[in-house]
Amino acid sequence: MQVIETLAEGLKRELKVVIPAKDMEAQMNERLADAKDRVRINGFRPGKVPVAHLKKVYGKSIMADLVNEIIRERPTAILSERGEKSATQPEIAMTEDQAEAEKILAAQADFEFTLSYEIIPAIELKDASGIKVTREVVEIADKEVDDQILKIAESARTYESKKGKAENGDRVTMDYLGKVDGEAFDGGKDEDAELVIGSNRFIPGFEDQLVGLKAGDEKVITVTFPADYPAAHLAGKEATFDIKVKDVAAPAELKIDDELATKLGLESVDRLREVVRGQIEGQFGSVTRQKVKRQILDQLDEMYKFDTPQRLVDAEFENIWRQINTDLQQAGKTFADEDTTEEEARDEYRKLAERRVRLGLVLSEIGEKAGVEVSDEEMQRSLFEQLRQFPGQEKQILDYFRNTPGASASLRAPLFEEKVVDHLLGQVAVTDKTVSKEDLLADDEAEDGKSEGKKAAPKKKAAAKAEAAEGEEAAPKKKAPAKKKAADESAE
């Protein structure tokens, strides 16, 4: 077998592989000889079939199998012998000429094919001890815990129907139909909707107009959607809602005690406080980690400058771009609404894709050199988390991960990355800084406000959980669904 390098330009490589016809024929003859004692052909005794006849009957089939095996196995061996790693699956090209293909199968012509690929560049790791990060830490005040418990208690509060008029704090059950310019709009209709007056779940001005209504009342409410409402076709528009009140209920007395804890499956209110404090610490800790991680990645980005495989960059860019357009479409917006153009956005997100690929390669090299591994148990836990998020779809998800090439990599990659970050945290200089909750969440809340889509209905969606834009920086990796929000990406 001859391997001839025909292109070596930057990271691009192209190889011409030639296997002489005589070598292909020799391999075919070996297989024919091996099959001689096993095949059964009418008119011949077992083991007495002439090789020439076997070649006539099975020659082309065996040669086709040989060609497929070579294409499947040789590229990996060739790259290994050259000490190269391909960034993606190498592209393989063979002759498309039917007559030439027939000659190859008849062992009358050399078998030739070309390999085209991009190599993963050699990365010389640098000392990470010079990286300095500030870890923002929030001290959880008792009031923070109390406020959260109060919200939990409010969500568990019971209501009792009353005959009087609705007041602030009462729960109203109603049907409503929203209209703009006299025409009903998507998402503006609901039946048996429950709303606590004063909860500020609906758009401004809606809840105030329910005060004074009682069961059986009907009313037309007029409100104006906020100018920055995510659904562009409703933003700033005046709308009417036909309301029919079905029930008015007064809130029961709110008590934070052992009985409340028992309703929530805990043994006491003290235990409830412990659990809530732990949840708050976990939420803040997640934000803290993402900010630390971003600082590490930013400094790694400054430390490492090298050409990136364009096929990886293209694939990462397509993932980002697909999600950006999906987000814009769902929000009913255009690039102009985001004060940019499609060309400028493409340029911005391609730079982001290059950054992700570069950092992904650096993290991969760091992890490999440090012996970082993801255990089967960790993979199982990650898979279980996927199943937990989609109740009722467990079988489909399991089938997806079992049958989809590369799907398991989408579970492994983020786990591997987080373990590499843990490894780096043991090397970099970390300074703790106590900050307020507001300071810790400030940047993330700003991003959430931009990226959180809202349903075209008179109610506001709950605020999105704080998520640093670097939270899914790992690349190159395959993902099942793209997850990044437009605003998250622009933060880069």
The reply to whether omega before 391 is within 30° of 0 (cis) is no
Total residue count of the chain as it appears in this document: 492
* Both structure tokens of 359: 């950092």
For 472-482, what is each residue's pLDDT tens digit? 444 333 333 23
Instruction: Give the pLDDT score at 445.
Output: 45
Report CA-CA distances (Å) from 3 to 71, 80, 414.
Answer: 14, 13, 37
Place of tokens 């105030």: 208
Three-state secondary structure string covering 58-105: HHHHHHHHHHHHHHHHHHHHHHHHHCCCECCCCEEEECCCHHHHHHHH
For 275-303, what is each residue's pLDDT tens digit? 999 999 999 999 999 999 999 999 999 99
- What is the pTM assigned to this prediction? 0.70
Instruction: Give the pLDDT score at 242.
Output: 96
* Both structure tokens of 98: 């039917």
For 385-398, what is each residue's pLDDT tens digit? 888 888 888 888 89
Asked whether the beta carbons of 313 and 350 are under 8 A apart, the reply is: yes
Instruction: Give the pLDDT score at 37.
Output: 61
For 12-45, what is each residue's pLDDT tens digit? 999 999 999 999 989 888 888 776 666 666 556 5
For 223-243, what is each residue's pLDDT tens digit? 999 988 878 788 899 999 999
Share of the chain above pLDDT 70, in %: 86
Backbone angles phi, psi at 244, to 5 degrees: -130, 115
Burial readout 6-45 (b: 16 or more C-beta within 10 A, e: otherwise): eeeeebebbbebebebeebbebbbebbeeeeeeeeeeeee
Q: What is the mean pLDDT of residues 421-449?
A: 82
Three-state secondary structure string covering 174-217: EEEEEEECCEEEEEEEEEEEEEECCCCCECCCCHHHHCCCCCCC
For 325-364, what is each residue's pLDDT tens digit? 999 888 888 899 888 999 999 999 999 999 999 999 999 9
Burial class (CB in 10 A: 0-12, 13-18, 19+), 62: buried
Per-residue pLDDT band at 409 (split at 50, 70, 90): confident
Task: Report CA Rg, the chain.
Answer: 32
Instruction: Quote the distance between the C-alpha of residue 309 and its chain's center.
Output: 21
For 298-319, what is each residue's pLDDT tens digit? 999 999 999 999 999 999 999 9
Q: Which of 148, 135, 219 is nearest to 429 (CA)?
A: 135
Q: What is the mean pLDDT of residues 197-216?
A: 92
Place of tokens 């391997």: 3
How far is residue 481's CA from residue 475's CA, in Å, rounded to a whole number?
14
Instruction: Give the pLDDT score at 42.
Output: 58
Instruction: Quote the distance between the C-alpha of residue 16 and its chain's center.
Output: 38
Instruction: Give the pLDDT score at 492.
Output: 33
How far is residue 333's CA from residue 325's CA, in Å, rounded to a whole number?
9
Helix ranges, 342-466 (H) = 342-370, 376-389, 394-403, 407-425, 437-451
Can you list the pairs that 274-282 forms with residues at least 24 positions away whose Cβ atoms lie under 8 Å?
Answer: 276/145, 276/148, 276/149, 276/152, 277/140, 277/145, 279/148, 280/140, 280/144, 280/145, 280/148, 281/140
